[in-house]
Amino acid sequence: MRLASAPKRPPGRGLDLARVLVVDDDVASRLTLQTVLEAGGYSVDVAASAAEAVGKLDEGRYELVLSDLGMESPEAGMKVLAHARLKDYKPATALVTAYHNSPEQAETLDRELFIETEDVPSLLGKVADLIGLRVLRRIERSRRIATFAASAS
C-alpha cells in the first residue's frame, strides 16, 4: 500500500506566521536569515540596501523588520529601523549582525534590540518574542483609544 504524500508548499513560502523584512547587504547573511526564518514558518521579504528596504516598507506591511547595522553606510541600518518605526502599522524592529567588535557598535547595541546571527538556535525564539511584543503594544494602544473615545462621549 502506498501512502499519498502531503502537498508541497511552493519554495520560499512559509506557514505565514508573520511577515518579516530582512535587510542586509551581505548576500550570504541575507539568504541565511531568509532560509532560517522561512523554515520557522515566517513569510520573508529581503532587501539588499536601505533604499530598497524603505521602498518595501512603503509598499507592504510587516510584523517585524530585521536590519543589518552597517550596510552602504555606518548608519544605514538605523535609518531603516527609524523609517519602519514611523509606519502606521508599527512593526517590531531589531538590528541583526554577524559581527560586533567595534566600541561604537557595542554602544549602539546597548540601546537597540540586537540579534547575533551566530546564535541560530535562539533566533526563532527572539523573532517570536518580538512579534508577540508588537501584538501586545497594538492591543494596549487600541484599548487606550477605546477608553479615550468612551470617556469623550
Q: Is the pLDDT of residue 148 over 70?
A: yes
What pLDDT, on a 0 to 100 scale, did the predictor assign at position 40? 83
What pLDDT, on a 0 to 100 scale, did the predictor assign at position 121? 61
Q: What are the C-alpha distances in Å from 101 to residues 72, 93, 98, 107? A: 18, 22, 10, 11
Cα angle value 7/126/84 (rounded, 5°): 90
More confident position, 75 or 98? 75
CA-wise closest residue to 112 among 133, 96, 132, 89: 96
Q: Is the pLDDT of residue 48 over 90?
A: yes
What pLDDT, on a 0 to 100 scale, did the predictor assign at position 99? 56
Q: Is the pLDDT of residue 53 over 90?
A: yes
pTM score: 0.70
In tens, the pLDDT along 2-42 reads 334 333 444 444 456 789 999 999 888 899 889 888 988 89
What pLDDT, on a 0 to 100 scale, did the predictor assign at position 96? 82
In tens, the pLDDT along 89-135 reads 889 898 887 654 544 544 544 444 555 555 556 777 777 788 887 77
Euclidean distance between CA atoms 73 and 49, whole angstroms: 10
What pLDDT, on a 0 to 100 scale, did the predictor assign at position 119? 59
What pLDDT, on a 0 to 100 scale, did the predictor assign at position 66? 93
Q: Which CATH number fits domain 19-152: 3.40.50.2300, 3.40.50.1010, 3.90.650.10, 3.40.50.300?
A: 3.40.50.2300
Measured torsion, CA atoms of residues 53, 59, 65, 68, in degrees rounded to the nearest 10: 0
Contact in structure between 65 and 24 (CB atoms under 8 Å): no
- Average pLDDT, integer, range 36-57: 93
- Average pLDDT, integer, range 36-62: 93
